Amino acid sequence: MIQENIDITHRHTFGIATQARAWADYESVDELRQLIQEARTRGLEFMPIGEGSNLLFVKNYEGLLLHSEINSLNTITLSDNEVLVRAGSGWKWDDFVAYCVEKGWYGLENLSYIPGTVGASAVQNIGAYGTEVCDAIESVTVLDTDTLEEQILKGNECAYGYRTSRFKGVWRGKYIVTAVTFRLKHTPQYILDYGNLREIVGDTPTLQSVREAVIKIRRSKLPEPSELGSAGSFFVNPVIARKHYNKLLEQYPDMPCYEIDEQQVKVPAGWLIDHAQWKGKTEGGAMVYPKQCLVIVNTGNAKAGHVVQLANDIAFSVFEKYGIIIRPEVNYVY
Ligand code: EPU
């Protein structure tokens, strides 16, 4: 089952030349258990990987990458209005969204066309266009990597926040997600207030038309992973004190923000980077994507070092200009 010394350049969306000591696909929880046992026997570290859409391999990976191909699907209709859908972690995220839209299940359509897998969605708490996946997560089924027992964690145990969860914090390495259960609706509940989404969808939204509008916006702003390597947003949008924001507005009256609470606002890092003149700037093969400065792309021959250098330079200049610290959303793998 284990492939040794494998080229993973095209198994993560940055497309940066990288080797892994070992790689294994698994289709069941039992296979995953066997792989973890084997890694332990051989003294190999291991890490789950989906589509690798949020990873930057800083160097070759010396352990075993575990790639889920658990593509199960179970549904239970709870009422006229609600359905529980349990999807295996290996589903490609957007195939799963397309399936839900086709079935007439509301809740995930704003998250159309996000790269990655169902398993990773629950770790990362993916979000876009006014929706976060945690809003629809009922529970997450995981394998405990110590006991090798499966466990079901309720969505509200996972401490979901903006692009974060316990899986990225205290549970890092403890669990591998094997399936995610979503609570979806049969009746329309559209969320169209983000940016120009409502305008693009028009007056008579349908599940399909919302999905198509989201895909259209994403395609116009974000690089196609099949054409240009990247890991989507490179930074998370920083949350800053409202006082600090009000002060910055005196100098930058056009600076947008998302409301958080009375004390804090979230500022789009893409705007900060753009207005610090980084659009299209390069470092070796890495470039700030001109249509969305939040994204760093691989123009073809980028090395991880180029991306790290560019990201560091950007963060430094954003701090110097606005006094705001921006942090990577992308996970660096050493
Ligand atoms: N902006 C600029 N210049 C830029 C980029 C953005 O001026 O180069 C301005 C835009 O004009 C807009 C504001 O910044 O006023 C926000 O831009 P956008 O709507 O593109 O959203 P974002 O905050 O930059 C976040 C997510 C995206 C998600 C969009 C839509 C994060 C880190 N990123 O980006 O997620 O698609 O909102 O909801 O929260 C991803 O995670 O990979 C991703 C693409």
Express each pLDDT in 265-284 by its tens digit: 999 999 999 999 999 999 99
**Residue linked to tokens 């000591």:** 21
DSSP, collapsed to helix, strand or coil, labels residue 32 as helix
Share of the chain above pLDDT 90, in %: 99
Pair 215, 232 in one domain: no
Which residues form ligand 1's pocket by a CB distance below 6 Å?
128-129, 194-195, 221-222, 232-233, 236-237, 256, 268, 270-271, 274, 292-294, 329
| Domains of the chain: total | 3
- pLDDT, the chain, mean: 97
Active site residue 329: yes
Pair (104, 211) in one structural domain: yes
Domain stops at, among 30, 45, 68: 68
- Dump pLDDT digits (tens) for 154-208: 999 999 999 999 999 999 999 999 999 999 999 999 999 999 999 999 999 999 9
Are residues 278 and 144 located together in one domain of the fold? no
Residue that terminates a domain, selected from 220, 251, 267: 220
Q: Are residues 194 and 310 in the same domain?
A: no
Contact call for residues 132 and 126 (beta carbons, < 8 A): yes
Cβ neighbours of residue 123 under 8 Å, at least 6 residues apart?
165, 167, 168, 177
Pick from 294, 295, 314, 326 the residue to mutate for probing ligand 1's pocket: most ligand atoms within 8 Å of its CB: 294
Clarify whether residues 236 and 251 are in a common domain.
yes
Report long-range pairs for 315-321 (Cβ below 8 Å, ≥24 apart). 315/235, 317/276, 317/278, 318/269, 318/272, 318/273, 318/276, 321/272, 321/276
Q: Is 163 a catalytic residue?
A: yes
pLDDT of residue 76: 97
Same domain, 123 and 244: no
Here the contacts of 96-103 (C-beta below 8 Å, separation 24 or greater) are 97/211, 98/211, 99/73, 100/182, 100/184, 101/207, 101/208, 101/211
- Of the candidates 21, 163, 183, 242, the residue annotated as catalytic is 163
Q: Which atom of ligand 1 is nearest to the CA of 235?
A: 32
Q: What would the two tokens of residue 249 be?
A: 């507005």
DSSP class of 150: E
Q: Is 47 helix (H, G, I), strand (E, B) or coil?
A: strand
- Partners of residue 283 on adjacent β-strands: 286
Question: What is the domain-level CATH number for residue 311?
Answer: 3.90.78.10
User: Both 53 and 83 in a single domain?
Assistant: no
* d(CA 20, ligand 1 centre) in Å: 32
Closest atom, ligand 1, to C-alpha of 221: 20
pLDDT at 298 over 90: yes
At 1 the pLDDT is 86
Q: Which helix (H) or strand (E) holds 209?
A: helix 207-221
What is the residue with the minimal CA distance to atom 25 of ligand 1? 128
166 in active site: no
**Segments forming the whole domain that contains residue 189:** 73-220
Degrees (nearest 5) of the Cα angle 63, 231, 143? 45
Confidence of residue 35 (pLDDT cuts 50, 70, 90): very high
Contact 65, 20 (CB under 8 A): yes
- DSSP-assigned states of every residue in 71-94: --EEEEE-SSSEEEEEEETTSBHH
Residue with tokens 């916006």: 217
How many angstroms separate the alpha carbon of residue 248 from the centre of ligand 1?
19
Ligand 1 mutation pick, 233, 254, 272, 279, max ligand atoms within 8 A of CB:
233
β-bridge mates for residue 286, sequence order: 283, 298
Clarify whether residues 161 and 295 are in a common domain. no
Domain boundary among 157, 192, 220: 220
93 shares a domain with 168: yes
Instruction: Give 294 Cα–ligand 1 centroid separation in angstroms.
Output: 7
Q: Are residues 148 and 206 in the same domain?
A: yes
48: domain CATH number is 3.30.43.10
∠ CA 45-54-112, nearest 5°, is 135
The count of C-alpha atoms lying within 13 angstroms of the C-alpha of 254, restricted to the half-sphere facing its C-beta, is: 4
- DSSP structural state of residue 30: H
Distance 270 CA to ligand 1 centre (A): 6
User: Could you tell me if 205 and 271 are in contact, meaning their C-beta atoms sit under 8 angstroms apart?
Assistant: no
The predicted-structure confidence for 211-234, as pLDDT tens digits, reads as follows: 999 999 999 999 998 999 999 999
Are 139 and 192 contained in the same domain?
A: yes
Per-residue pLDDT reduced to its tens digit, 226-256: 999 999 999 999 999 999 999 999 999 999 9
In the block, tokens 């094997």 appear at 178
Give me the catalytic one of 112, 166, 233, 283.
233
Question: How does pLDDT run across 77-124, given as a tens digit for each residue?
Answer: 999 999 999 999 999 999 999 999 999 999 999 999 999 999 999 999
CATH number at residue 136: 3.30.465.10
Give the separation between CA 63 and CA 75, rounded to whole angstroms. 36
Question: Cβ distance 59 to 78 under 8 Å?
Answer: no
Q: Ligand 1 centre and the CA of 327: distance in Å?
A: 15
The reported pLDDT for the residue numbered 72 is: 98
Pair 304, 238 in one domain: yes
Cα–ligand 1 centroid distance for 132 (angstroms)? 14
